């Protein structure tokens, strides 16, 4: 058995020992199961007077030598008659310097406001304070910087904040610690999660969707009776936008000092008049979309040292004809694994979760995109949405596969909807396929092979589920080198340093080779021989026997009208063409 040993001489398991026998941790009776949001008096904190900066937030650009600084000035307005602030009223200036250096630089950015409008009578409209975004460039790698933001012409500058830049992309340089969590909200449990995160001193924070939960409230600030509620009087789902401001103020001590990258969840959709969506999300945060070739703020990529991160959206089109899919294929095809050996993807709802809540809810997305991620050798996938923790064995297409990603569910940030504690494989808890919503249509199906053949759910914890636990907490990823990364998960009810789950995730590039900077179709041509039928024949490939370690999945559409054979190692793989008509 191959184990890594930490500084205390304690053996830590590695994925090389897997697949692991599935484990379910018993429910801790000491948990706060009856979650509630913080009282407004605690949420609101003290707002900066006049145009003093608040809700300060630092995020990464696509490169190590630049970061974004964001903040808000001026008061939001809510009511029947609102008058948006003029963004030109105040400047967007950042002063920055290497920590303890006397040489200060200045950068200037842009500003905006957004509105959340509800035409029905009796509902309150919202207009934000002035939101500022400033890109600062020319930064040194892996260096601590100090900065202030605001408008010096009216003596409205913030106090000093600090951030550390990412290392230069390369196989030997990585951020020390990357914190990962989803579904935070603003509850008493959230406060514990955030306190533990800060105590673990990350260099980078990933927030995997569902941030403020403003859409759980009506426009008058009272709690809604249900999520997605609508009525004849109010055909649009209401939100209470000031909760975004409360959330931003509460999070400032963390996100003003730790570069933070976010991806949207369903609670960020916030549909309003004229079917506009994601207004708060797309305005309050800034993303390296353009720098990474994306045309949308809802999906993008960036590097952090020797890691390439891909942030995807489950809430816009993702089929093979979509802009997002084409962008993803191009982005993955351009990754040079000699420069960024680690490839990590994140989006909000999980493909692999064994909890009844949201069970197999995004099958359409998995069907469309899983082959692409598998082919390009994605190492780790982070998801939220389900309010619990779960780590998978390496898996592809619901089968154990040593070259598949490790899927990690971290929707355990502490939100007001509470923990998910019911598993789909327990008697009587398997959801009906017809009750499983899917953004891409209806893709639910019963398994056709394996222990769950003919069923929608397993009768026991699935083999691909390595560890699951219903607790609030957060995760820490520490990439050690181009093949080893230490993952630890920290539950809230214990001291922040104690790991409830810990494992070394080990890449095996020799066993699971990827071809850097090579398009999917090009590699198929290089790897396989196709003998075309006469053009008059019509034929189609209906399936391939199953995934083979180290072999990329082959889309049947590629081989329409062809017989294909390929050699993998010492074994011959034959794809049989059927359905040939004279």
User: Is the same domain home to 120 and 43?
Assistant: yes
Q: Which residue matches tokens 């959206």?
A: 313
Residue 572 pLDDT > 80:
no
Active site residues: 358
Q: Which residue matches tokens 């509800």?
A: 118
User: Is the same domain home to 473 and 568?
Assistant: no
- pLDDT band at residue 534 using 50, 70 and 90 as cut-offs: very low
Cα separation of 115 and 239, whole Å? Answer: 12
Give the residue-averaged pLDDT of 160-174: 97
β-pair partners for 150: 93, 157
Share of the chain above pLDDT 70, in %: 82
Domain boundary among 506, 536, 564: 506
Domain boundary among 455, 483, 506: 506
CA atoms within 13 Å, Cβ hemisphere of 484: 14
Domain boundary among 482, 506, 530: 506
In a domain, 25, yes or no: no
Give the residue-averaged pLDDT of 556-565: 35
In a domain, 513, yes or no: no
User: Is the same domain home to 314 and 279?
Assistant: yes
Which residues constitute the domain of residue 567? 520-581
In a domain, 80, yes or no: yes
User: Is the same domain home to 312 and 458?
Assistant: yes
User: Is the same domain home to 447 and 550?
Assistant: no
User: Is the same domain home to 407 and 532?
Assistant: no
In a domain, 178, yes or no: yes
Q: What is the mean pLDDT of the chain?
A: 87
In a domain, 511, yes or no: no
In a domain, 285, yes or no: yes
- What per-residue string of b and e applies to 37-50 under the rule 16 or more CB within 10 Å gives b? bbeeeebeeebbee
Residue 578 pLDDT > 50:
no
Residue 561 pLDDT > 90:
no
Q: What is the 3-state secondary structure (H, E, C) of 73-129?
A: ECCCEEECCCCCCCHHHCCCEEEEEECCCCCCEEEECEEECCEECCCCCCCCEEECC
In a domain, 514, yes or no: no
User: Is the same domain home to 482 and 445?
Assistant: yes
Cα separation of 57 and 65, whole Å? Answer: 17
User: Is the same domain home to 90 and 176?
Assistant: yes
Cα separation of 456 and 268, whole Å? Answer: 30
Residue 575 pLDDT > 50:
no
Q: Which segment of 151-165, 283-297, 495-509, 550-564 scores lowest on mean pLDDT?
A: 550-564
Residue 209 pLDDT > 50:
yes
Residue 231 pLDDT > 70:
no
pLDDT of residue 3: 52
In a domain, 182, yes or no: yes
Alpha helix (H) ranges present in 295-354? 323-333
- pLDDT band at residue 1 using 50, 70 and 90 as cut-offs: very low
Summarised one tens digit per residue, pLDDT across range 168-207 is 999 999 999 999 999 999 999 999 999 999 999 999 999 9
Summarised one tens digit per residue, pLDDT across range 478-518 is 999 999 999 999 999 988 889 999 999 999 999 998 865 54
Segment of 80-84, 277-281, 439-443 carrying the highest mean pLDDT: 277-281
- 8 Å CB contact between 214 and 278: no
Q: What is the CA 55 to chain-centroid distance, rounded?
A: 22
Summarised one tens digit per residue, pLDDT across range 61-77 is 988 999 999 999 999 99
Closest among 201, 284, 276 to 247, alpha carbons compared: 284
- 8 Å CB contact between 531 and 577: no
- pLDDT band at residue 441 using 50, 70 and 90 as cut-offs: confident
User: Is the same domain home to 216 and 273?
Assistant: yes
User: Is the same domain home to 287 and 227?
Assistant: yes
Instruction: List the structure tokens of 316.
Output: 């816009």
Q: Which segment of 8-17, 73-82, 435-444 scores lowest on mean pLDDT?
A: 435-444
pLDDT of residue 458: 98
Q: Which segment of 6-10, 352-356, 492-496, 531-535 scores lowest on mean pLDDT?
A: 531-535
Q: Which residue has the higher pLDDT, 82 or 519?
A: 82
Total domains present in the chain: 2
- CATH number of the domain that 472 lies in? 3.60.21.10
pLDDT of residue 435: 79
User: Is the same domain home to 243 and 286?
Assistant: yes
User: Is the same domain home to 557 and 426?
Assistant: no
């Amino acid at each position: 058995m191959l184990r890594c040993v930490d500084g205390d001489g304690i053996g830590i398991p590695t994925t090389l020992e897997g697949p692991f026998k599935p484990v379910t941790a018993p429910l801790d009776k000491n948990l706060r199961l009856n979650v509630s949001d913080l009282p407004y008096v605690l949420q609101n904190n003290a707002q900066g007077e006049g145009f003093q900066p608040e809700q300060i937030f630092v995020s990464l650009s696509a490169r190590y030598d630049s970061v974004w600084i964001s903040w808000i000035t001026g008061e939001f307005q809510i009511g029947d008659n609102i008058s948006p602030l003029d963004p030109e009223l105040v400047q967007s200036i950042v002063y920055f310097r290497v920590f303890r250096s006397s040489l200060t630089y200045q950068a200037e950015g842009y500003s905006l406001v957004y509105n959340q409008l509800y035409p029905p009578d009796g509902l309150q409209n919202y207009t934000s304070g002035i939101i500022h975004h400033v890109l600062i460039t020319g930064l040194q790698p892996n260096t601590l910087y100090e900065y202030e933001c605001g408008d010096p012409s009216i003596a409205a500058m913030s106090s000093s904040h600090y951030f550390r830049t990412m290392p230069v992309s390369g196989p030997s340089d990585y951020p020390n610690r990357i914190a990962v969590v989803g579904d935070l909200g603003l509850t008493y449990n959230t406060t514990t999660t955030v306190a533990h995160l800060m105590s673990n001193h990350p260099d980078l924070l990933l927030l995997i969707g569902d941030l403020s939960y403003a859409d759980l409230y009506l426009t008058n600030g009272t709690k809604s009776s249900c999520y997605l509620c609508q009525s004849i009087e109010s055909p649009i789902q209401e939100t209470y936008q000031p909760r975004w401001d409360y959330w931003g103020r509460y999070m400032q001590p963390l996100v003003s000092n730790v570069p933070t990258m976010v991806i949207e969840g369903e609670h960020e959709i916030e549909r309003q008049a004229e079917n506009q969506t994601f207004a708060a999300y797309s305005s309050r945060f800034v993303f390296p979309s353009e720098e990474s070739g994306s045309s949308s703020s809802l999906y993008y990529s960036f590097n952090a040292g020797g890691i390439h991160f891909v942030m995807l959206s489950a809430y816009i089109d993702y089929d093979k004809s979509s802009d997002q899919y084409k962008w993803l294929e191009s982005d993955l095809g351009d990754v040079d694994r000699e420069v960024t050996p680690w490839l990590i993807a994140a989006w909000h709802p999980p493909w692999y979760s064994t909890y009844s809540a949201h069970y197999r809810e995004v099958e359409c997305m998995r069907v469309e995109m899983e082959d692409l991620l598998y082919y390009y050798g994605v190492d780790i996938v982070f998801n939220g949405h389900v309010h619990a923790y779960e780590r998978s064995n390496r898996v592809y297409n619901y089968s154990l596969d040593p070259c598949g990603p490790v899927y990690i569910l971290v929707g355990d940030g502490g939100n007001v909807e509470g923990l998910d504690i019911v598993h789909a494989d327990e008697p009587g808890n398997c959801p009906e396929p017809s009750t499983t919503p899917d953004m891409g249509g209806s893709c639910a199906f019963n398994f056709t092979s394996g222990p769950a053949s003919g069923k929608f759910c397993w009768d026991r914890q699935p083999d691909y589920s390595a560890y699951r636990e219903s607790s609030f907490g957060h995760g820490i990823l520490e990439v050690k080198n181009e093949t080893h990364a230490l993952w630890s998960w920290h539950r809230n009810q214990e001291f922040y340093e104690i790991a409830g789950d810990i494992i070394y995730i080990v890449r095996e590039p020799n066993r699971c080779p990827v071809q850097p900077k090579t398009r999917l179709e090009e590699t198929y041509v290089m790897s396989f021989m196709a003998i075309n039928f006469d053009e008059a024949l019509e034929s189609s490939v209906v399936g391939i026997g199953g995934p083979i370690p180290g072999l990329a999945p082959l889309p049947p559409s590629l081989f329409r009208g062809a017989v294909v054979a390929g050699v993998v190692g010492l074994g011959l793989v034959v794809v049989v063409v059927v359905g040939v008509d004279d």
